[in-house]
Amino acid sequence: MTGASGAIYGITLCRQLLAFGFHVHLVVSEAGWRVLKEETGWEATRRVDVLNERFDGAIADKRMTYHSLADIGASIASGSFRCEGMAIVPCSMGTLSAIASGASTNLLTRAADVTLKEGRPLLIVPRETPLNAIHLENMLKLSRLGVRIIPAMPAFYNGPRTLDDIVNFMVGKVMDGMGIEHHIYRRWGQPDDEQ
């Protein structure tokens, strides 16, 4: 999770992945912690405790591993560490730019670089508007490298009634990009009662 608005997308994705039985390795940038505080009221000083509380004990029972942004020696910084892929949700334009230029200045950008070099799926959910030419060029560069760009642009064909419906649509699109079967939003042409 980085410092772009839309922390709820990252929170919801973590909750869904945990519910599906995945072990989640979480990195939150310093700006990401600021956004978590501003958008959700999460306290940024007791980080491990807060994450453990908000994700129903997932750290304590070893379903989630939290890595400090500065821990460049963490497991996820190595290509020999086995994982199924990486999602950066939400992804700030600064993080997107660092990844596009190969600047591995912290654990998050190093893990993204490793994901690319190992040929594993990398998905990013950029959240910025309007976009300038630099943003678009960086996204194009990453797309050409095989990165899945899933902009935080919710659809309305599914008749969302709540903010959760909109968030679940975006998280569902990320899960689709990860190849995870789910039913957290109503797909095009799907009756309401089949969700």
Instruction: Please report, in angstroms and rounded to a whole number, the separation of the first and last CA atoms in the chain.
Output: 28
184 CB-contact burial (10 Å; exposed 0-12 / middle 13-18 / buried 19+): middle
Query: What are the binding residues for dimethylallyl phosphate?
Result: 157, 173
Query: What are the binding residues for FMN?
Result: 3-5, 29, 92-95, 127
Mean pLDDT of the chain: 95
pTM confidence score: 0.94
Tens of pLDDT, residue by residue over 132-158, are: 999 999 999 999 999 999 999 999 988
pLDDT range class, residue 10, cuts 50, 70, 90: very high
- What is the dihedral angle through the alpha carbons of 54, 153, 170, 190, rounded to the nearest 10 degrees? 150
Query: What are the binding residues?
Result: 3-5, 29, 92-95, 127, 157, 173
**Which contacts (CB < 8 Å, 24+ apart) does range 138-143 have?**
138/93, 138/96, 138/97, 138/100, 139/96, 139/100, 141/100, 142/96, 142/99, 142/100
Tens of pLDDT, residue by residue over 80-91, are: 999 999 999 999
CATH number of 7-180: 3.40.50.1950
129 CB-contact burial (10 Å; exposed 0-12 / middle 13-18 / buried 19+): exposed
